[in-house]
Structure 1
Amino acid sequence: MKTKLIIRLALLIGTIVSMFFVPWILVKAWILPLPNTVQEQVDEAVNHGFEGVIVYVDQAGKEPRYYGAGWHNRELKIHANPHALFKIASISKLYDAVAVTKLVSDGRLSLDKTIADYLPELSSKIENADKITLRLMIQHKSGIPNFTDAPNFWAAPTESFEESIALIEGKPANFEPGEDYEYCNTNYLLINKIMDNVLGYSNFQFKQEEILNPLNLKNTFSSLKQVDINNVMSGYHVGYPHDLKTNDYGMHATLEDVGTFLRALNNGTLFKNKEQEIYASIYEYEHSGWVPGYQSFAKYYKDIDAVVVHFYSTTDPKLLYWNLSEIINNRIYKIIRNQNT
């Protein structure tokens, strides 16, 4: 009995001590009573400090629902718009993986060919280029250093493939190919270059023809250059005073377009022939993304057959808002689940 009491006391003390190292805002967001509706939870998220939050819910058998709170543009006092364009950041990797799948299925790419095969000019610049296959890059098992980890990268992001690759040229591998996992943007920088070379034109055009057009996705764009800036939701980074929507960080899309894509990815309607089998062997079925000012989450919950896409327009250097958004995402899932009971 005495031993059990000591263990319980130690656990209690450990829990109390650990709470001193967890920001109170996270504890508060976690312990607050769960609201009855998604809109109440989105409103609560803004009260926690997000400048703007928009959410899309597509649940089987129900009409899609849209939610928003906070600002679309803080300076102009324009309220959040669930149909706005947003910088989706690394959610774009899902589109990349689907495009690779289709090119592999067509015989134009091979998952077992290496960087040295596809980009021989980089053989002497990337360690293990002759061992790192397309498959390993897709799966983040290459060991290549991540170019966006370069000091102060986000203060002055690179603007070309050559500038980005220069940040990791000659650097030692983080591990031997296939022996570990490390999320790495350099992998997908290389994959996009390989697709461009094999196609002979921009791989986004291929995505448009093979992915976007068949799904009637008319609000997904390769970059800021293709859109009306007024339709882009503003983004804010703690400690930086200006709106970040004019920074071009790649793909832009609406909640609905991302949600429609994710539904087709998960139910298989995006694929033909043996494409789904190929995709299932190389990548995942949901994703998140982060660039300064923008956090995005595209999630599929199988148990309730629901696609939920969350866009948050606030980031911070310590990723406090990232952790906060994940708590809110989970609470929104619970609300949707509870509404089904």
Structure 2
Amino acid sequence: MAATTPVDGRTSAGSRATADGDAPVSQDAAAAASGQNRPELQQAIQAFIDAGFLGIQARVRDANGEWVGTAGSSKLGQPAKPPANGRFWVGSVTKTFTATVVLQLVAEGKLGLDDPVATHLPEFGLDERITVRMLLQHTSGLFNYTGDFDPDGTWVLGIPATGDDWLANRFHAYQPEELVRVALSKPPRFEPGTDQSYTNTNYTLARLVIEQVTGRSFADELARRILRPLGLKNTVVPGNRTQLPGPHAHGYYRYQDATGEWKVVDVSRQNMSLLSGAGDMISTTKDLQTFFSALNSGRLLPAPLLAQMRTPHPKQSYGFGLFVQDLGPGCGTVYQHNGSPPHAYGALMYSSPDGRKTLTASLNYVDDATRSPAAKFPQALDTLIKAVFCDGQTAS
């Protein structure tokens, strides 16, 4: 972590937050002001700051209503707290949106889960055994274009997605076809359908399938099917745009230059075309809450397809675009997909099976090549999840 100590940002639920002189998000100031006092939730998000993260914005909806909280700092060395509904890079949360669009096309008979992907995308020369289902469940065996492990555990380089090499190329624009061809230049990890390995390549291909089947861009199809119907006005597929629009918290990368001096650079601006269809979206906690609640309550997919989406593969408990997580006695099952763009941001998205209880959040922090903040993340996350979904239980 950077030597700078994050500002202690304990806030009440009614705090108004701004970033970089942007106007406060009035709807959330009002919601927070009218919301109930939830000290256990405020304490749970403060734990991330105590663990070394720079800032957090979080949103919980349950039987008690809606709670919005922030802690820490929006910008390194400044006291302003993260905006309560600021924009952020959602990373792999994008996969849940992509999977939902694919399954809507399946529901309409325009696509089959067991269609060979090669039928829709013949230009890549894909193994004809790889199906649309395998893309969504990460069982295709394709190499991950951002780097992957060989069966013997050796790391095989792909396009730099972390570390100093990523820093130098963070504004580079990629085409999805380019990403797929990088993956196909490497041997597959396993025979299609015989194993499971989480791979960005699968969802970039899924994006291309959506575009081929509909004749429209992924961004247009997502807007037509999900964003506009649900009123998700702050969610966007940015393409090659690198700037987070509107109020947002800042993320940083810490590195050692050629002289051995440590430096910290603001990496809030990034080109997420590196993760096309797999991790390139921008959203807010409110929009993610609305989307995931709608999905799990059955508003976006027919019940049989939603059931398939939420049926996990036994190896990684991953269905189609989401994880199935058993929290244990007294807590039950949640559906979730979190996200971590290359550096400096993290996104959380959790829901109860009926969509009535949700947790969405975004973290901003000072990252480095070793991903050092990750060490303390699991404990803080476990505490927060249990505070929301386990009637106030805390991690042991």
Question: Deviations along 1:30-55, whole A, 9 cap, x unmatched?
Answer: xxxxx952212322321221111111
Partner residue in 1 for 2:43: 40
The aligned counterpart of 2:201 is 186
Task: For 2:43 and 2:86, locate their aligned partners in 1 and report how far apart those are by CA, in whole Å.
Answer: 20
**Larger helix fraction of residues:** 1
Structure 1: how far apart are the matches of 2:104 and 2:353? 25
The change in CA–CA distance for 1:278 and 1:214 in structure 2 (over 3 A counts) is farther
TM-score between both structures, scaled by the size of structure 1: 0.80
Change (3 A) 1:275 1:211: farther
One-letter identity of the residue aligned with 2:75: N
Distance 2:310 2:81 in 1: 40
Equivalent residue, structure 2, for 1:233: 249
Instruction: Say yes or no: does 1:163 pair with 2:178.
Output: yes
Where do residues 101-250 of structure 1 align in structure 2 (5 Å cutoff)? 101-123=103-125, 126=126, 129-149=127-147, 150=158, 152-154=160-162, 155=166, 156=169, 159-223=174-238, 225=241, 229-239=245-255, 241-249=264-272, 250=280
- Per-residue CA deviation, residues 170-221 of structure 1 (Å, 9 max, x unaligned), is 3111000010000000000111011112111112222222212222211111
Identity of aligned residues (%): 26
Aligned to 1:290: 340
- Residues 176 and 73 from structure 1, CA distance in 2 versus in 1: closer, same or farther, beyond 3 angstroms? same
Structure 2 residue runs of 5 or longer lacking an equivalent are 1-37, 148-157, 256-262, 273-279, 312-318, 323-334
Change in CA separation of 1:338 and 1:105 when aligned onto 2, cut-off 3 Å: closer
Show the counterpart of 1:268: 298
Deviation at 1:229, TM superposition (A): 3.5
| Structure 1 residue matching 2:265: 3-state secondary structure | coil
CA distance in 2, matches of 1:338, 1:286: 18
User: What is the 5 A alignment of 1:52-71?
Assistant: 52-59=55-62, 61-71=63-73
8 Å Cα contact 2:83/2:248 also seen in 1: no
Gaps of 5+ in 1: 1-34
1:159 deviates by 1.6
Letter in 1 for 2:91: A
Note the alpha carbon deviations across 1:76-121, whole angstroms, 9 max, x for none: 6532112100100100100111100100111111211223211111
Query: 2:330 corresponds to which residue?
Result: none
Per-residue Cα deviation, 1:145-185 (whole angstroms, up to 9, x for no partner): 00011163341355212331232233111000010000000
| Deviating more after overlay: 281-290 vs 246-255 | 281-290
Checking the alignment, whether the CA contact within 8 Å between 1:221 and 1:227 is kept in structure 2 is no
Deviations 1:276-333 (A, max 9, x none): 3453455234201111111112112459952111211124433442342232122123
Letter aligned with residue 288 of structure 2: V
Structure 1 stretch 278-287 or stretch 263-272: which is displaced more?
278-287
* 2:374 partner amino acid: W
Tell me the SS of whatever aligns to 1:109: coil
Deviation (angstroms), 1:247 = 0.5
CA pair 145-165 structure 1, distance change in 2 beyond 3 A: same
Q: For residues 130 and 211 of structure 2, what CA distance do their matches in structure 1 show?
A: 19
Q: Tell me if the contact between 1:46 and 1:70 (Cα under 8 Å) persists in the aligned partners.
A: yes
Over 3 Å counting, the alpha-carbon distance change for 1:91 and 1:228 in structure 2 is closer
What residue number does 1:11 align with?
none
Shift of 1:142: 0.4
User: What is the one-letter code of the residue matched to 1:84?
Assistant: G
Q: Distance in 2 between matches of 1:174 and 1:235?
A: 33
Q: Does 1:321 align with 2:321?
A: no
Match of 1:256 among 286, 291, 307: 286
Deviation at 1:334, TM superposition (A): 2.9
In the other structure, the counterpart of 1:9 is none
Q: Secondary structure at the match of 2:293?
A: helix
Aligned twin of 1:5: none
Q: Deviations over 1:45-83 (max 9, x none)?
A: 212211111111111x33211111122222665321121
Greater displacement, 270-279 / 257-266: 270-279
How many residues were matched structurally?
302
